Structures are given as structure tokens and as C-alpha cells.
Structure 1
Amino acid sequence: MDSPTHAFDPRASVPAAFDRRAWPDGGLFDHWTAPDGWSLRRYRLGSGTRGQMLLLGGRGDVIEKYLEVMAHWAALGWAVTTFDWRGQGGSGRLTDNPLTGHIEDFGQWIADFGALAVDWRGQGDGPHVMLGHSMGGHLLLRALAEGVAAPDAAILVAPMLGLHTGALPDAIGYGLARIMCRLGQDKRMAWTQQEGSERLDRLRQKRLTHSPERYADELWWREYNRGIALGPPSWRWVEQAFESTRSLAASPALARLALPLLILAADADQLVSTPAIRRIATRLSTAQMHVYGPEAAHEILRECDAVRLDALSRIDSFLDRSAP
């Protein structure tokens, strides 16, 4: 199931001088309106001569975190579109506390994604491919299983197909989240996070990436635009994460998916369950999979260059084969 290693093509790389704290030239910012009137912040970059790519970020992610990889694919001719999910980034909030990551039902995100994808498909010709990271990877695979999305190929990067709960059994974590929701704490943060704590920032960085520079970029963007900052998830989000991942894992539709799939994961991931990713990958008949060792944390596309460039090479080679 492991995909072959491919030499990185330097012609496709973003120059070392790329400024990750500035918007690339030629990008287009706008707001897409969901069927119920909710406004989602959206960004597009690239000519589209190679095709159309839709990039789905994870929980708490913002468009700004992906400018570097978007510039990479734009340099190859892809028109890359990404957006902030409802309730995070620049797409509004769903609780009175702007730092709480909340959603009542993951189905709302699936509905937003499905409607936005219809609009996206009409933006250009050529292959249409989708890439989802973490929670975005979960929502992408769920949308594929439910027939909501039909790209020519898809890439899942550290997809949230199960939660990394450490020594705590899933059943206990799920049960606790359900109890807290029934006690009326559904919109409260599931845990607290001290803003500006250097010790906690170092711990968080190690869980996300071995690149202190790229992690520092995220903190810079949060300070530059405090309106995009988000903290821990709500208890309802936690409950929904358990419910949605359990439901997807039990779905017989996974075995029927026929589109080309590439999965990248990391054994050292401390946010999502790599064993769960492996289990589901075995049921996806068309999936290729590569799992990194201790050299990679959760944010594979924002890792140190040795990992990041290898991941980009694998993705580009996969797309050359699967969506020429």
C-alpha cells in the first residue's frame, strides 16, 4: 500500500525566499455564500492551466497557513481554491466566545462543502482534484462516501479518521463529551488554553511540526489578524468528532469508492489516530498510502523541508498519474 518514493522536482518548488507572511501576487480573495446565507471566506491562486484543486484545512486552520503549498501548486499551473470552514478563521463564529471552535453537527460542514464544490467545479476546465488535511481529510472522505463530492482524484493528509486519545479509551472520551453536552456545556471549551504561554506554545509546536519557523508563522498571522484566531474545540465538537469518525468507519460505502486516492500519515501523530487511518486504508481498494516515521508530526505539509518536499513530490507524482 506504500506509494513509491519519487525524486523532488526543483522546478515545482517554491523559492526559498517565499514570504510566508505575505499574500502572493495574483491571488483572489472573496466570500462565498452558503445556501442558508452564511458567508465563508475564500481564496484562490493560480492560472488553472493544469487543472483545479480544492484544498480543505483542518480544525482551527486558516487560509494563511497554506499560502506556501498553494504557491507551489499554482507554480505548476493548478488553480488552487481554499476556504475557512463555517465557525472558524474568517468565516464567523457559532458561539459568543470567538476562541471556541464549535459546530452543532458535522453535517453542516458537509452541506457547506457540497454546495461550495458545485460552484468550484464551474470555475475552470481540466482535472478537478481535492486535498484534505486532518479534519478536512475526514470531511472529504465522508463527502466521498456520501456521494456529496466526485473529484477525479483525492489526497488525504493526516486525515482525522480517529482521534488520538492517548491512554484514554475512545469510549470514555466519547461518553464524557456526551455527558457534558447533556449538562448544557455543549458550547463550552472542552479544555482551556492559556494564550501567550511559551511553554504551551512549544508543546503545541512539537505536536504539529518540527519546523519552528512555520509554527511561528501561524502565531504571527494570529497576531496580525486576531479575528482569525481560534482556541480549543467545544464539547459538542468533540462529541461530533467521535460520532462522525465512528459512523464513517462503519460505512460500507468506503469499499465502493473507485477514485484514485493518496493517503499520507505519520506514525508519531499526536492529534489523529494513525492506527485508525491504517485500518480504513485497507478498505479503500484504490488507495495508495505512505506513513512517515518520527521525522513527521501532524502537519505534514508544514513540516521541515525534508518531509514537506517529499510529501509534495508524492502528491505531484500521484496527480500526474491519476489526473493527467
Structure 2
Amino acid sequence: MKLISIPANPVPEDVVTGTLKTPDRIDLRFARWAPPPGRKGTVCIFQGRAEFIEKYFEMARELRARGFAVATMDWRGQGMSQRMLRDPKKGYVESFREYETDLEAFMREIVLPDCPPPYFAIGHSMGASILTRIAHRGYRWFDRMVLCAPLIKLGPQLLTPYAKPAVNFLNAIGMGRSYVPGGGPAVVASQPFIGNVLTSDPVRHARTAAILEADPSLGLGSPTNAWASAAFSMMREFEDVNYPGKIRQPIMMIAAGRDVTVSTAAIEEFAGRLRAGSHLIIAGSRHEMMMETDRYRAQFWAAFDAFVPGSPAF
């Protein structure tokens, strides 16, 4: 399975890539990089909705420079993993348990057999919420997790009063495979920098757009009603005040101060109830803090280095 390389975003060296098949017969693309000499373990990167492996090449290099092996994958329905509907631009699952199936297959088929322990995880947005769910269910593959802008609750831009009842109703009457109201096939990451709410870094924004221009098949449009209904179902679970206290996994949650995609306040409240957790707000950062300007990314890496054994701070 190929990786897309462009001059502004070349594939990091020493990569192994391919596909794995989940128990429900979905093909997922993966990539893994061996650690440099004096290995310290493996960091697994779990993307947000509509993202893809190529977007995290820079982070793979930074992690390997810290002495880690790196492993990552495309979730079902995005990147170069198997798309779920005839229209490949539609983001679709019936339940977020399907993503948990992806994660478990990735760990059992790729990480545990071929990557050096100990294992750590970085998750962004949707990926971070899936890691939260598997930690709540008691899976302990990872020594520590760093969760960036986790989808605990939607931010003010997306959480309109009618959003939840509308998508739940449309899903219930058989329109789960249709785009959410107002949505369509347009790929957000390909839109102009001016007016975007994901990053304040024009260079990294342009790099993502260039990757999508090189291979438009990586792009994903709006969610479907079924995906949105599944997301609301997951977020309803997170509303239980006892939910965080049942997680024993050491977690650091990092929120973005200018995030309008997910709720920074909800992340802070949730993280405050974790038994083995801590949290940080990067003031000024937008939602995609790992695609932000260097001054915000430096704060992310400082937090990571202080939290994850084997990083330079240790």
C-alpha cells in the first residue's frame, strides 16, 4: 500500500506500509517506522476524522528523533483505508465501536508483533475520543496516552440547538447514508486558509492541501447522519460524571484555547475527574495543535516530553 510523497512532505525513511484486515473484513492501511539505535519504545498515532497518514509525517520524524518507533493507520472510511459507501467522500459508521474494532486489529496485527515496547499513544480529536473509550473499557496496551483536543463535546460552532435531534431523526428514518444537513463532498482541508478554524499556520495548512492535490482520493467530505448520530451517542456517554473516574489509564489531555470545533471547557471538566490524568490548555492554539505554528507545537512537545518516559526530559 503506497504512501503519497511530495517535495514539501516526503515520506520518512525506513517505513513499512501495508494493509490489515479487521475481524469484520475491512481493509485498513497502516505504516510503521523502526526506532533509531537505542530504542525507547513505540508511539502510536491515532488521527482525527478525515485525516490520513501523510498528514503526520512531520510528527513521525519528530518522534523518531526522540528515539521512538512510530506506528499509525487510517481509520475505516478515510485516508486509503476501505471506504464504507459508494460515494467515497461520505464519512460513515453506524457506531464508534467500529473504530474500536480498527484500533484493536491494528494493535494485535501490527503493533504488538512488530513494534518494540513499551507502547504510548497520541490521539487527536476523534482518535483521542476512541482512545478514551478503550481506556474506559479496560484495555491497557499503552503505558500512557496523550490526547489532543479530544471529542468530548462539540464546540460552539458545531453544536447548534437542532443538530443532535435533526441527525438522530434523519438517521432513524433511513437517511443515515446522507450527508448531514448543510454538508456535502467538499474537503475542508482543501479550502482556503483565510477563514479556516483548524490552524493558524499557513505553511502547514498549505502542505495538507498540497497532499490532497497530489492525491484527491485521500480527501473526505462531511459526515453522514449515521456518523453524526454515532458521535452524539458517544458524547452522551462522556456526559456521565462517573465516566472519567472509572478510567485507570494514565492520560494527559491537551486542549486548544481557541478551539471552536470541540469544547475546551468540556475537556477541562472531564480531565479534572480522571483518576490518573492531567490536562493542559495551550492558549491561542486552534483545534489542530499538531498542525499549528511552532510556538504552539513547542508547548505540545514540552508537555509530551514531560509526560512520556523515554523523551528527552527523562
TM-score, scaled to structure 1: 0.86
Identity of aligned residues (%): 27
CA pair 255-26 structure 1, distance change in 2 beyond 3 A: same
CA pair 200-20 structure 1, distance change in 2 beyond 3 A: closer
For residue 307 of structure 1, what is the aligned residue in structure 2?
296
- Distance, in Å, in 1 between the alignment partners of 2:251 and 2:306 is 12
**Structure 2: segments with no counterpart, 5+ residues:** 1-5
For residue 255 of structure 1, what is the aligned residue in structure 2?
245
- Distance, in Å, in 2 between the alignment partners of 1:243 and 1:164 is 16
In the TM superposition, residue 209 of structure 1 has moved relative to its aligned partner by: 0.5
Q: Which structure has more RCO (C-alpha within 8 Å, separation ≥ 6)? A: 1
For residue 5 of structure 1, what is the aligned residue in structure 2?
none
For residue 118 of structure 1, what is the aligned residue in structure 2?
108
How many corresponding residue pairs?
304
CA pair 72-134 structure 1, distance change in 2 beyond 3 A: same
**Is 1:114–1:149's contact at 8 Å kept on the other side of the alignment?**
no
- Distance, in Å, in 2 between the alignment partners of 1:143 and 1:318 is 20
Q: Is 1:148 equivalent to 2:136 in the alignment? A: no
**Structure 1: segments with no counterpart, 5+ residues:** 1-17
More helix by share: 1
CA pair 240-251 structure 1, distance change in 2 beyond 3 A: farther
- Distance, in Å, in 1 between the alignment partners of 2:265 and 2:18 is 38
- Distance, in Å, in 2 between the alignment partners of 1:310 and 1:56 is 20
CA pair 211-261 structure 1, distance change in 2 beyond 3 A: same
Q: Is 1:88 equivalent to 2:78 in the alignment? A: yes
In the TM superposition, residue 173 of structure 1 has moved relative to its aligned partner by: 1.7
- The structure 2 residue matched to 1:133, chosen from 114, 124, 132, is 124
The Cα offsets for residues 74-128 of structure 1, whole Å up to 9 and x where unpaired, read as: 1122111010000111002111211111111111111221222223123233321
- Distance, in Å, in 2 between the alignment partners of 1:306 and 1:53 is 23
CA pair 274-88 structure 1, distance change in 2 beyond 3 A: same
CA pair 219-256 structure 1, distance change in 2 beyond 3 A: same
For residue 9 of structure 1, what is the aligned residue in structure 2?
none
**Is 2:185–2:220's contact at 8 Å kept on the other side of the alignment?**
no
**Is 1:157–1:265's contact at 8 Å kept on the other side of the alignment?**
yes
**Is 1:29–1:42's contact at 8 Å kept on the other side of the alignment?**
yes
In the TM superposition, residue 52 of structure 1 has moved relative to its aligned partner by: 1.2
CA pair 132-167 structure 1, distance change in 2 beyond 3 A: closer
TM-score, scaled to structure 2: 0.89
Q: Is 1:296 equivalent to 2:285 in the alignment? A: yes
- Distance, in Å, in 2 between the alignment partners of 1:199 and 1:288 is 34
In the TM superposition, residue 260 of structure 1 has moved relative to its aligned partner by: 2.0
Amino acid at match of 1:132: G
RMSD: 2.5
Aligned to 1:54, the other structure's residue is in SS state strand
For residue 29 of structure 2, what is the aligned residue in structure 1?
41
In the TM superposition, residue 184 of structure 1 has moved relative to its aligned partner by: 2.4
